[in-house]
Chain A
Amino acid sequence: MSPYVPILVLLGIAFAFSLLTVGLGMILGPRRYGTAKMEAYESGIQPTPRAVGGGRFPVKYYLVAMLFIIFDIEGVFLLPFAVAFDSLGMFALAEMVLFVATVFVAYAYVWRRGGLEWE
C-alpha cells in the first residue's frame, strides 16, 4: 500500500486542481451571452452539423494503434524485468535484449517503408 501513497496524493492533487480551475472560472468569470456571440466569426463559414465522413478517422490510424499495442505489450514484459532485474542475472538480460531486438526489427521495417509518415 505505502509505495502508492505518493501516486494517490498526486492523483488527488490533479483531480482537485482540475475541479478548482473549472469551478473558479464558473464562479468568478463574467457571463454575457447574445446572438452575436453564438455566431461564427466574420469570415468563418456556417458550422455544419457533421463532417463529410461522419467523423470517421482514416484507416491509417490502425497502424499507429497497432504499433502502440506492440510496444505496450513489450512494456508489460519490461515491467517485471525491471523490477526483478537485480535478482534475475545475465541470462534474463540476454533474453530481453533478444526480445527487444526482434520487435525493433519489425519497427525498423515499418519506419523504413514509410508507415510512420502521415500524408
Chain B
Amino acid sequence: MTRVPSVDWVALAPVVAPLLGVVLVLVVDAVAPRAARLARVHDALAVAGLVAAGAAVTWLAVDGAARSTVCVPGGDGEAGLVLPSCSYVVSDLTLTLQAIAVVGALGCLLLAVDGPAAADRTPHHVLLLSAVAGVAALAGARDLATLVIALETASLPAVGLVALRRDAQGAQAGITLLLTAVASLGLLLLGVALIHAATGELHLDRIATALSGPDLSGAVLAVAGLGTVLGVAGIGFKLSAVPFHLWTPDTYAGAPLPIAAFLAVVSKTAGLAAVVVLLALGLPALAGSWGLVVAVLAAVTVTVGNLVALRQRVAVRLLAWSTVAQAGWVLLPLGAAVDAASVPTAVAASVGYLVAYAAATLAVFTVVVLLARHHPAGEEHTLADYRGLARREPVAAAVLGFGLACLAGLPPGVMGLVAKLVAVRPLVDNGVWVIAVIAAVNVVLGVLYYLRWGALLVAAPGAGDGAPVTWRVRPAEGLVLGGAAALCVAFSVLPQVVAGVLPGVLR
C-alpha cells in the first residue's frame, strides 16, 4: 500500500543546511545556556549554515541538472495520462530566489552579529536561519501545502526578530507585524482553499492543467478566480503592497536596523517567490484576470510609496516607504501578463528587478546601520545627518550614493536603470500603456527623493553639527559594505545578469 518517497537530499540542501544550522545552534544552547564564551560558536554555526546553503545553491546551479523530489506518481487518470508531480523542484527560478535570500540574510546576519543580536544570539540566529530556510523552501515549493507552510516559515520569524529590540517600540512593531501576518495568513489560506476546491488538486502543475482544460464551467473559474484574488491579497501583506502596507513604516522604525534590512531584502524575496510560484506556476491559465489585478496593485503601490517617501525626513522611514514603492516595481512586470504565454517573460523581469533591488537595498542599509551606530540620534537619525558625509567618510558615502543611484535608476547605477527598463518592457510589449505611463511618472518621483538624499552627501557640512565622530567599522560590517558595493558594481558592469537572470522556461 505504501511507497517510500524518494528524497533527493542534494536538491533539498539549500533548505536543509540552514535548518541544520538552527538545530545545531539550539543544541549548543541547550547544552550550555548563557555561556558567553560560546557566542562565537553560535555565530560560526549560523554563518556556516548560510554559507553551506549558498554553496549548495552554487553547486546546483553549476551542475545544472533538472532535479525534482518528493513526487507523487502519475498514472492513468480519468482524463488520460497523469504525469508525476513533485513538491519540490530545482529550477533557475528556485536557485535565483534562494541565492538572493541567502546572500541577503548573510549580509543582515553579519550586520547584526555584534549589534542588536549580541544580547540574544540564539533566538536571533535561529529565527534568521529559519526564515532563510522558509524562503528557500518557498522558492522550490510546487504544491499548495508546501507553499503555505514555507511562506509562514519565511515570514513568521520576522515577528520575533523585530521584537528583539526589547523596548516598547520594538514590542509594538512586533505585535503589529504579528497581527498583520495572522490576518494575511487567513486570507492566503482562504484563497488557497478555494483554488483547491475549484480544481481538486494540490500540486501546482496539476492545478494549471485542470484550469487550462477546454470545457471549464463558469463556477469553477469563478471560485478559482476568487481564490486567486484572496491569495494575492494574503501575499500582498508580505510584500507590503498597497493597501496591505500599513504595517511597514512602524515595523521598520521599531525594528533593529539590520532586521529592517532583513525585512526589506529577505521578506520581500519571500513575498515575490510566493506570488511567482502561485500565479505563474499554478495559475498561468488565469493570467488574463490576475494580470490586471496585479497591475493595478503594483501601480497603486509604486505611486503611494513614492509620494509618501517624498515627505519623509527620518532615514529609516524613508527607506520603509521606498521599499513599498520598490515592491510595486517588483510586481509591475507581472501585471503585464495577459495570457499564459506572456507569463515567463514577466516573471524573468520581476526576478531580475528583485536581484537589483536586493543588492542596492543591502548597500544602502549597511551605510544607514553604520551611521546610526555613530550618531547620537541612533536609529531615529534624519536625512540632514547625512550632510557632508562624503568629506568625513568618503567610502561609505560613495557606497550609499551608488546604492541610491541604483534604487533610483540613474547613471552610474546602471543596474537599477536596466532593471527598471526590464520591468517596464513587458508592459510596453503587451500594450498595458496606462500602467507603463504611471511607471514612467514614478521613475521621476523616485529620482526626486533619492537624489535629494544623495545631494546631501556632498553638501558642505552645516554650522550646527558637532565634532564628527570617526567611524569604527567592524570587520563584519566592512565585509558587508564591500560585498554589497561589489555586487552593485558587478551588476552595473554586467547588467545583462539583471536583464536575463532567467531563461524563459518556468518550472
Contact = CB atoms under 8 A, between A and B. Distances in A.
A106 B4 contact: no
B467 interface: no
A89 B29 contact: no
Contact of A112 (B1, B5, B33): B33
Interface string B358-393: 000000000000000000000000000000000000
A2 interface: no
Interface string B220-238: 0000000000000000000
B195 to A, nearest CB: 23
Interface string B29-54: 11001100000000000000000000
Contacts of B23: 102, 105
Contact of B4 (A87, A91, A109): A91
A88 interface: yes
A20 interface: no
B182 interface: no
A108 interface: yes
B27 A105 contact: yes
A113 interface: yes
B217 interface: no
B470 interface: no
A99 to B, nearest CB: 12
Given A109-B122, A113-B33, A89 B26 contact: no
A88 B34 CA distance: 41
Contacts of B33: 112-113
Contacts of A89: 2, 4
Range class of the A interface residue count: 10 to 19
B2 A109 contact: no
B26 to A, nearest CB: 5
A113 B123 CA distance: 11
A109 B30 contact: yes
Interface in A90-112: 91-92, 102, 105-106, 108-109, 111-112
B26 A109 contact: yes
A106 B26 contact: yes
Nearest to A90: B4
Contacts of B5: 91
Contact of A105 (B2, B4, B26): B26
How many interface residues does chain B have, given as a range? 10 to 19
Given A109-B122, A112-B33, A113-B33, A87 B1 contact: yes
A112 B30 contact: yes
A89 B5 CA distance: 12
A89 B27 CA distance: 29
Contacts of B126: 109
Contacts of B4: 89, 91
A109 B29 contact: yes
Nearest to A106: B26
Interface string B9-39: 0000000000000010011011001100000
B168 to A, nearest CB: 14
Interface in B283-304: none
A108 B26 contact: yes
B129 to A, nearest CB: 13
A113 B126 CA distance: 14
Nearest to B24: A105
Interface in A6-49: none
Contacts of A109: 26, 29-30, 122, 126
A108 B23 CA distance: 11
Interface string B253-264: 000000000000
Contacts of A87: 1-2
A102 B5 CA distance: 21
Interface string A46-73: 0000000000000000000000000000
A112 B29 CA distance: 8
Contact of A88 (B2, B26, B30, B122): B2
B30 A108 contact: yes
Contacts of A91: 4-5
Interface in B325-350: none
A59 B4 CA distance: 44
Contacts of B27: 105, 108
Of A87, A91, A102, A109, most B-chain CB atoms within 10 Å: A109
Interface in B273-291: none
Contacts of A108: 26-27, 30
Contacts of A92: 2
Contacts of A112: 29-30, 33
A71 to B, nearest CB: 17
Contacts of B2: 87-89, 92
Contacts of A106: 26
B331 to A, nearest CB: 33
5 contacts: A105-B23, A109-B26, A109-B126, A112-B29, A113-B33
Interface of B: 1-2, 4-5, 23, 26-27, 29-30, 33-34, 122, 126
Top 6 nearest A-B pairs (CB, nearest first) are A108-B30, A112-B33, A91-B4, A105-B26, A112-B30, A109-B26
Given A109-B26, A112-B29, 13 more contacts: A87-B1, A87-B2, A88-B2, A91-B5, A92-B2, A102-B23, A105-B23, A105-B26, A105-B27, A111-B30, A112-B30, A112-B33, A113-B29
